[in-house]
Amino acid sequence: MPPPNEQRRAQLTDAAIDLLVESGVHGVTHRAVDRRAGLPAGTASNYFRSREALLVATAGRVVERHQADMADAARAEPVPASNDGVQRATDLIAGSLLLAAGPHRARYLAIFELRLESLRRPALAAALDELMAAMASFTGGHHADLGLDIPPAAIPPMLVMYGGALFALVTGPVEAVTREVAHPLAVAIVEGGLAAARNGESGR
């Protein structure tokens, strides 16, 4: 069997993201994905042997695109003159919330649909947990590369708080997604993560 075409795989999972937003998990079938992607019948099933494999790959695609957005934002965000890593982390998270809940909200609506479906699908739940662990590891490396003063122990609670803030934003009106709303949330995420890390250290 020839190696998978990664561009085609991305095309299929991007189509699945659109279908998740439009009709929920039940609308994501191999046949529907083929139609939405404009590909011949049977293409999706050649790449993803089961519907569950298709759903897991779609979640992976959201994470992949989120990581790419993080890298792009880090390159575009100017380094503060004070080299304040906490302030820079706050600014990057605020920008991430604005992007995710605005232009890219479909991706995150899709991942929340998958998380809810995972309550009924243990294999999907396990795959999503693995993706979250990988995301925590990626975020730690990302912070280190940028020289941000965020301890590793702060990252898991920050990811949980980010997810909660993002859920509130993407399930509300898009016009409510503003910097005035996103920035205080980002402050709470960073301060909460740092506090959790300090409490963890003091409890040892």
Q: Are 86 and 148 in contact (CB under 8 A)?
A: yes
Q: Which residue has the tokens 């992007």?
A: 99
- Residue 86: pLDDT band by 50, 70, 90 thresholds? confident
Query: 97 versus 200: which is more confidently predicted?
Result: 97
Going from the C-alpha of 86 to that of each of 15, 52, 111, the distances in angstroms are 37, 39, 28
Chain centre to alpha carbon of residue 67: 8
Q: Which residue has the tokens 């999503």?
A: 128
pLDDT of 3 higher than 70? no
Q: What is the mean pLDDT of residues 71-97?
A: 79
HEC string for the chain: CCCCCHHHHHHHHHHHHHHHHHHCHHHCCHHHHHHHHCCCCCHHHHHCCCHHHHHHHHHHHHHHHHHHHHHHHHHHCCCCCCCCHHHHHHHHHHHHHHHHHCCCHHHHHHHHHHHHHCCCCHHHHHHHHHHHHHHHHHHHHHHHHHCCCCCHHHHHHHHHHHHHHHHHHHCCCHHHCCHHHHHHHHHHHHHHHHHHHHHHHHCC
19-38 pLDDT per residue, tens: 999 999 999 999 999 999 99
pLDDT of 96 higher than 90? yes
Q: Please give the model's pTM, rounded to 2 decimal places.
A: 0.85
Q: Which residue has the tokens 């912070």?
A: 143
pLDDT of 176 higher than 80? yes
Chain centre to alpha carbon of residue 165: 12
